[in-house]
Structure 1
Amino acid sequence: MKQVKIMGVPLSHIDHKTLVKQLDEHVMLEEKSFVITVNPEIVMRANEDTAYMNHLHKANYITADGIGIIRASQLLKDPLPERVTGYDLMIDLLSISNIKGYKIFLLGAHKDVLKRVETNLQHFYPDIQIVGSHDGYFNWDQSDEIVEQVKQADPDLTFVALGAPKQEQWISENIDQFNKGVFLCVGGSFDVIAGDVKRAPATWRKYNVEWLYRLLKQPKRWRRMLALPRFAIRIIKRKLKGSP
């Protein structure tokens, strides 16, 4: 598969529909797959943390979960086809699982949030098989216990909502212990499914200002948003130097 490198991060040149189809095939063939969706903040973090960059490089697919990544690829004259977000991937894979009987494991969020996620998923996807779950508030030395729990559940799809950089690190460090399954980083998607956070309306997403909607709803995110201008400056400098 063609890759587009942005500041050392190899993004998959793939659209949403094609990726969903490929992940479905991985499940049917009982193959392993590690999927990360990145935004400018994650790319900046990876450039400042070699260990984190190495975790990203272990993924089978890395997609653009932020319009800033798409704009950067266009500026660098190697455009990605479209945004492919973790939330949208999760929703489509849940729909497929509801039809095909794929087994689901949920990792992340507070215990009470996780309960609401499971309740809502069972409501919207009546035939879904949630074979296990674990909240995201655990000590890293408990990771082996969680790995064993996932192994026992034997899921086809594991949605990991620990937030960056923990979710990418957890999958990277543990995926070799599994024989099969799609492992997808989904960030704050559990909060949306639980009803605690409202996703930006379709119009905001259409005009690529979902980031602004999030900022207005969660002003505390302003510190995280500082990564955006820093990312833009780095991309412009690379454009001038002729490097990806």
Structure 2
Amino acid sequence: MTDAKTEAARTAAAAAPRRLFGVVVDPLTMDETVARCLTAVRDRERLEIGVVNAAKLVRMQRDPQLAAAVTGCGLVLADGAAVVWAARLLGTPLPERVAGIDLFMRLLGEAEAAGLSVYFLGARPAVLELMLHQVARRFPALRVAGSRDGYFADAERGAIADEIAASGAQLLFLGMTSPRKELFTGGYAERSGALLVHGVGGSFDILAGITRRAPERWQRLGLEWLYRALQEPRRLGGRYLRTNTRFIVMTGQELVRRRAAGHATRGQG
């Protein structure tokens, strides 16, 4: 009985959400995430997915609106390797990175197999067209309820959500940058009628062949950010340097704070 209780306690601890920099992150593997998404659609439970990486966690510290949109999602996942490393260092380990584009591709395959309808919102018109062509080639039986490019005014968001609702789409993928995708999710996901909403960022560009994704070796080393920066050094180089530096500082400060809290607790005991 004791062994059973111990194992149950370990299982519960492994499943418990992790708190990082004030954000609750769900400790799920990719397979567990996909299963959770499919269960939500099957049970007609609306599920909004938020993802965090180092840059977004830094930005959330100074952008309350973005922070509220992300933390308001039903699932918050570690999209960046740096987040997984920081969680391990801080004593709140996550099982693995759940990259947004990998989840996107998995869900497209599952939607095709289950006959679920999808809607794509985001990217430039030409990129969206190329992406839709690739989707049709890779997932020929996928039911595409509709699509629209991401170049619209904030005042149009309500009307676009109504268009998505009218399409009957069950899964909505947002190929927009932060914080636009998070703000759309936070303000209009329910109005869209979609059961599953996933902001996939630049995944439309990658699937369209406009942006190259880092090779698997770079991904395993957690260097996707560097690969992207090398592709667009003038636009991304300085930004990544600043956010990565700030994230390292944040992690160090949090580590010191947690150790101090641990010493204080032991001192009281």
Aligned partner of 2:99 in structure 1 is 85
Q: 1:231 aligns with which of 247, 252, 258?
A: 247
Residue 23 (structure 1) aligned with residue 42 (structure 2):
no
- Whole-Å separation in 2 of the counterparts to 1:13 and 1:215: 28
Deviation, 1:162, is 1.2
Deviation, 1:104, is 0.7
- Whole-Å separation in 1 of the counterparts to 2:163 and 2:113: 25
Percent identity reads: 27
Q: 2:201 aligns with which of 183, 187, 205?
A: 187
> Bigger relative contact order, structure 1 or 2, given CA contacts below 8 A and separation 6+?
1
Deviation, 1:53, is 1.1
- Whole-Å separation in 2 of the counterparts to 1:179 and 1:110: 24
- What is the TM-score with the length of structure 2 in the denominator? 0.87
Alignment of 1:1-244 (within 5 A): 2-219=16-233, 220-225=235-240, 226-242=242-258
Deviation, 1:98, is 1.4
Q: Which is richer in helix?
A: 2
Superposed CA RMSD in Å reads 1.2
Instruction: List gaps (5 residues or longer) in structure 1.
Output: none
- Whole-Å separation in 2 of the counterparts to 1:104 and 1:97: 8
- Whole-Å separation in 1 of the counterparts to 2:75 and 2:232: 29
Instruction: List gaps (5 residues or longer) in structure 2.
Output: 1-14, 262-269
Specify the SS of the correspondent of 1:183: strand
- Whole-Å separation in 2 of the counterparts to 1:224 and 1:172: 25
- Structure 2 counterpart of 1:70, which letter? V
- Structure 1 counterpart of 2:37, which letter? L
Kindly indicate whether the alpha-carbon contact (under 8 Å) linking 1:8 and 1:47 is maintained by their aligned counterparts in 2.
no
Over 3 Å off, 4+ runs: none
Q: 1:116 to 1:62 in 2, by over 3 A?
A: same
Query: May I ask how many residue pairs the two structures share in their alignment?
Result: 243
Kindly indicate whether the alpha-carbon contact (under 8 Å) linking 1:66 and 1:83 is maintained by their aligned counterparts in 2.
yes
